[in-house]
Each structure stands twice: as structure tokens, then as C-alpha cells.
């Protein structure tokens, strides 16, 4: 029988603020971080975004440290420190040094990459900074979290577009369940506001210049965000032994690949991921109280996700509270899925369901309860967090109230 | 001729027959799904040096719709 896995620490830095308290306060108030964005003036069509406010890296790192930290790594380390502190883990303790570090990211060290290409191709410089590789490599955040927190167990980066955070969390869960480790620091970070990435998102034509209105008739696409979400996972035995506070239990996961279209979501793939998660958790569909939806507010995702929920839950679908917190923290790519699991754990802990903000009227094809605009007090025993990424990579996590 | 240039682009993306691209043809019938559509729009923007805003994309469902948008643009290079 596999070991039970608990969430004992949470850390977020996002468009909603520099810490988890600011994140949760904004979520429960239904307050969106999406604001006008003009970093690249008129050359980029994207005009709204959720950037981390009032963020000065110098407040967290020395100049020497910053020479090795891409922006996405900075956000990862800050959130990881917050999660570790929240869990009451002490730096240097043996159990902490043997923990795992698994950090997902959708786009990795793009700030470093693009600055380098600008130097070479645009400025025609003949050399680049010697630390470009370790700073910008896709595993940089995992290395930096491990380095800054002194975590010496299994450590690696992981990528699956928007599901990167969920997959990192699931990997940590699986390693604890199997007994490889007792503690894991897992999550994801993304900092996508670079010129090249924004021009690329412009070209894909799925980003709104209004705001993020998941499941609404007048939705016009997703809105980009940045940030990091990190969680401390522990075996039940280890958490009990040190008297750790438990936010929730991770009780199951479901992962599928659509093996179909590179961008268009697949109802079957989504539905199978949810069914697999329920089966893995040993939970009947009618016991799910809350779904934190992928809910990107694109035309395709919201309808497909609604259809998938209908297929999996049948009549019970109408009884489930469903919200997309991307309406508030926006779509921080791989980091979103980790932020959303933090939000789901907090929802269980506090018995409050964050709303789908910016809500106007439902799309006719989206006919479920999306908790429009105002948070809802409700005891949550079982919650599901959905992540359905580009490339058809689906990851669903189920949390259960503990004890 | 603009129709020929548009047809060349559509054939390149959809791998359909050149003769199947007629003004009244629906894009979906040529196999242009959402991903091929945004690729087609990119190629049209590059070829004709125009900008096609996101807001009008839902109204582009036939080859004629593309030709109309090109006619309305002041920046066509033939």
C-alpha cells in the first residue's frame, strides 16, 4: 500500500502580490491582477497582463546571486523559500537536505535567452556573458532552488507547457508514495514577458486585450501572467512526527495525452485525465465538491472542459462549484497549475471557494456553476485541479481534506 | 492576380488542389482548421504586407472573405 502524501507548506509570488497572503486575500475578494501592459510599447499587440507588482529582485538577492538568476529562477526561489518557511522546515536539517526539488516551467529562462540573442544578432556583439548557460538552461530554477535552500535529494526541472506545475507536483507525490523520499519541494515558475515570447503569443491569436473571462459569452481569450507557485509535500508519517500543519492530502492524480492536435483541446483526453484521477484517488465522482478549472477563457478550452466535466460527472456536474482562478492571477503558463493547486489547498483549508472573476454572462455552451465574481463559503472535502496544456498534455490532481 | 496568390498560400498550407480554391469555397472544406487558419493569416500578412486584426477573424470563413479583406486594405502589394 502506497504512503499518503500531505501538503504542509505553500508559497506563491504572482500578479496578485509578493506573497501567499496577498494571493489568497485577492482570490477571496475576487480581485484580478490583470492590468494595462505596455512594456514593449506599440510593437506588441498584447495590452493587458498580470505582472508581479512592486517587485525588486534586489530586495531578495545580492548582486552576485542575481548574476546567476534569470527572472523565472528568482520567482522560483522566492516562492520556494516561502513554502519551506511556511512548512516550518529548518535549513540544514537532515530531512530537508534529503528532500526532492522538482520545478516545472513552461518557458524557462527566456529573459536570459532573449537578452543573449539581442546581444548577438541585433547588437552584433562577439561574445556573451560566461554565465549565460547556467542562468538560462531549462533546469536552472531547479538548481537554484536546490542551491538556495540547501536541498540535496533528487532535483530536476520538468516541462509540459501549462501543466508543468501539476506534473512536477505529481512526480513529487509519486516519489513520496513509493518511499524514495519523505519530503518534496515542488511547483513551477514562469516569467514570459520578453519581446520574442510576446510577439509569439501575438501570432497565436489566443490572447485577449480585454481581460480574462472564463466561461463567459464575451470572453476573448487568455491573459498572460507571471509568477511561481511552490508546495512542500510530506509523507503522512513524517508530517505527523514533527507536528506539521496539513493543508490537505494529495490523494490522486490523472495524466493523459490527447495524441491529437497541438493546440486544440480534446474532450476525451480531458475527461480521461479526470476519470483517471478519481480512480487513482478511489473517489466517486459524486463526492467532488469543487473543481479549480483550467479555464483559460479561450473559445476552445472552456467549452471542451465543460463538456468533459459533464461526461465525467453526469448529473452531479451541476452540483459542483467550478471556478477559474486564472481570471485573477492570469495564465502564468506552467506556474499557473502550481498556483492553482495552492489556491485549491487554501480553499479546502479555509472552506472558501474563490470565484471566477470578471464574469458577465455564461456562454450557452458553458452551463455549469462557475461561482461568478464572489467567493463562496463552502466546506470542501474533495477538490479537483485541472490542467490541460498545449500539446494535449493533461494533468489532474485531487485533494482531500485532512484528517 | 490576387486570387492566384491567395490560392497558392492556401494550397501550401492545406495541401489541397489549386483548382479547388474558388472564391465561394469555404475554408473548412479545404481542411483549414484553427491552427492552419492562423498560419494562413500569417502567410497572407507577410505576402500582402497587411495586418489582419483578431476581431475580424471569425468573419473569415470563405476564400471570398479573404479577398474582401484584401480589397479593403490599403497596403496590398501586387
Give the model's confidence band at B71: pLDDT under 50 very low, under 70 low, under 90 confident, else very high. Answer: confident
pLDDT value for A7: 98
Q: In whole angstroms, what is the distance from residue A210 CA to residue A297 CA?
A: 11
Strand partners, A256: A394
Dihedral (CA of A266, A12, A31, A38) sign: negative
Report residue B77's pLDDT band, with 50, 70 and 90 as the boundaries.
Answer: very low
pLDDT tens per residue, range A45-63: 999 999 999 999 999 999 9
Q: A264 contacts in B (CB within 8 Å)?
A: 33-35
- % of chain A residues with pLDDT over 90: 92
Q: Pick from B35, B42, B57: which is nearest to A263 by CB?
A: B35
How far is the alpha carbon of B54 from chain A, nearest alpha carbon, in Å? 7
Tens-digit pLDDT profile for residues B12-51: 989 999 999 999 999 999 999 888 888 899 899 989 988 8
Q: Which of A205, A264, A300 sits opposite B57 (nearest CB)?
A: A205
Give backbone dihedrals phi and psi of A158, rounded to 5 degrees, phi first.
-150, 140
Taking CA atoms, A377 is separated from A290, A347, A351, A354, in Å, by: 12, 9, 6, 9
Our CA angle for A341, A240, A104, nearest 5°, is: 30
ipTM: 0.72
If you average pLDDT over every residue of chain A, what do you get?
96
Is residue A294 flagged as an active site residue?
A: yes
Identify the pLDDT of residue B76.
45
DSSP β-ladder status, A48-49 and A183-190: unpaired
Residue in B54, B55, B57, B60 to test binding to A, most A beta-carbons within 10 Å:
B54
Q: Give the angle subtended at the CA of A378 by the CAs of A374 and A383, to the nearest 5°.
A: 100
What per-residue confidence (pLDDT) applies to B1?
83
* Residue A41 pLDDT: 64
Instruction: Judge whether A162 counts as a catalytic residue.
Output: yes
Per CB-CB distance under 8 Å, the chain B contacts of A205 are: 38, 41, 54, 57
pLDDT interval class at B78 (50, 70, 90): very low
pLDDT tens digits, A289-316: 999 999 999 999 999 999 999 999 999 9
Query: Which residues make Cβ contacts (< 8 Å) with residue A66, sequence separation at least 6?
Result: A57, A58, A74
* Of A307, A268, A315, A266, the residue nearest A288 (C-alpha): A315
In this prediction, residue A265 carries a pLDDT of 87
Alpha-carbon gap, residue A129 to A118, rounded angstroms? 12
Indicate the burial class of B63 (C-beta count within 10 angstroms; 0-12, 13-18, 19 or more). buried
Neighbouring residues of A124: CB distance < 8 A, sequence distance ≥ 6: none
Which of A111, A238, A294, A329 does the annotation list as catalytic?
A294
Whole-angstrom distance, CA of residue A6 vs CA of residue A89: 14
In this complex, is the C-beta atom of B43 within 8 Å of any C-beta atom belonging to chain A?
A: no
pLDDT confidence tier of residue A1, bands split at 50, 70 and 90: low
Can you tell me the mean pLDDT for A254-282?
A: 94
Nearest by CB to residue A264, choosing from B34, B42, B57, is B34
More confident site: A285 or A40: A285
Amino acid at each position: 500500500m502506497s504512503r499518503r502524501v500531505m501538503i504542509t507548506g505553500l508559497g506563491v509570488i504572482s500578479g496578485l502580490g509578493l506573497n501567499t497572503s496577498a494571493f489568497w486575500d485577492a482570490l477571496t475578494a475576487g480581485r484580478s491582477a490583470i492590468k494595462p501592459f505596455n512594456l514593449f510599447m506599440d510593437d506588441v499587440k498584447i495590452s493587458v497582463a498580470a505582472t508581479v507588482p512592486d517587485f525588486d529582485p534586489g530586495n531578495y538577492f545580492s548582486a552576485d546571486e542575481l548574476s546567476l538568476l534569470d527572472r523565472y529562477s528568482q520567482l522560483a526561489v522566492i516562492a520556494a523559500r516561502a513554502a519551506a518557511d511556511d512548512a516550518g522546515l529548518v535549513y540544514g536539517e537532515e530531512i530537508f537536505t534529503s528532500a526532492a526539488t522538482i520545478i516545472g516551467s513552461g518557458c524557462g529562462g527566456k529573459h536570459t535567452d532573449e537578452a543573449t540573442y539581442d546581444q548577438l544578432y541585433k547588437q552584433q556583439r562577439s561574445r556573451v556573458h560566461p554565465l549565460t548557460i547556467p542562468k538560462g538552461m531549462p533546469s536552472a530554477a531547479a538548481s537554484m532552488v536546490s542551491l538556495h535552500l540547501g536541498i540535496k535529494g533528487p532535483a530536476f526541472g520538468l516541462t509540459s507547457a501549462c501543466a508543468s506545475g501539476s506534473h512536477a507536483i505529481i512526480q513529487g507525490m509519486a516519489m513520496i508514495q513509493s518511499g524514495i523520499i519523505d519530503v518534496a519541494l515542488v511547483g513551477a515558475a514562469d516569467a514570459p514577458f520578453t519581446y520574442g515570447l510576446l510577439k509569439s503569443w501575438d501570432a497565436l491569436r489566443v490572447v485577449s486585450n480585454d481581460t480574462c473571462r472564463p466561461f463567459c459569452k464575451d470572453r476573448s481569450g487568455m491573459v498572460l501572467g507571471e509568477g511561481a507557485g511552490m508546495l512542500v509535500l510530506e509523507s503522512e508519517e513524517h508530517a505527523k512526527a514533527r507536528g506539521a500543519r496539513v493543508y490537505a492530502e494529495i490523494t490522486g492524480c490523472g495524466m493523459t495525452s490527447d495524441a491529437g492536435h497541438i493546440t486544440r483541446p480534446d474532450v476525451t483526453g480531458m475527461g480521461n485525465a479526470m476519470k483517471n484521477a478519481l480512480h487513482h484517488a478511489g473517489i466517486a465522482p459524486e463526492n467532488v465538491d469543487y473543481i479549480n478549472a483550467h479555464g483559460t477563457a479561450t473559445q476552445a478550452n472552456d467549452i471542451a472542459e465543460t463538456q468533459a466535466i459533464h461526461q465525467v460527472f453526469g448529473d452531479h456536474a451541476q452540483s459542483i462549484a467550478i471556478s477559474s482562478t486564472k481570471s485573477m492571477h492570469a495564465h502564468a503558463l506552467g506556474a499557473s497549475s502550481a498556483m492553482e493547486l495552492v489556491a485549491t489547498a487554501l480553499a479546502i483549508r479555509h472552506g472558501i471557494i474563490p470565484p471566477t472573476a470578471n464574469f458577465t454572462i455564461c456562454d450557452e455552451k458553458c452551463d455549469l456553476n462557475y461561482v461568478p465574481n464572489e467567493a463562496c463559503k463552502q466546506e470542501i472535502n474533495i477538490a479537483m485541479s485541472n490542467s490541460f496544456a498545449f500539446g494535449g498534455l493533461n494533468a489532474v490532481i485531487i485533494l482531500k481534506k485532512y484528517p | 492576380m490576387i486570387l492566384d496568390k491567395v490560392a497558392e498560400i492556401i494550397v501550401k498550407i492545406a495541401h489541397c488542389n489549386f483548382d479547388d480554391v474558388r472564391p465561394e469555397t469555404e475554408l473548412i472544406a479545404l481542411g483549414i482548421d484553427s491552427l492552419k487558419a492562423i498560419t494562413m493569416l500569417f502567410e497572407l500578412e507577410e505576402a500582402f504586407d497587411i495586418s489582419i486584426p483578431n476581431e475580424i477573424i471569425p468573419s473569415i470563413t470563405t476564400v471570398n472573405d479573404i479577398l474582401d479583406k484584401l480589397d479593403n486594405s490599403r497596403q496590398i502589394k501586387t
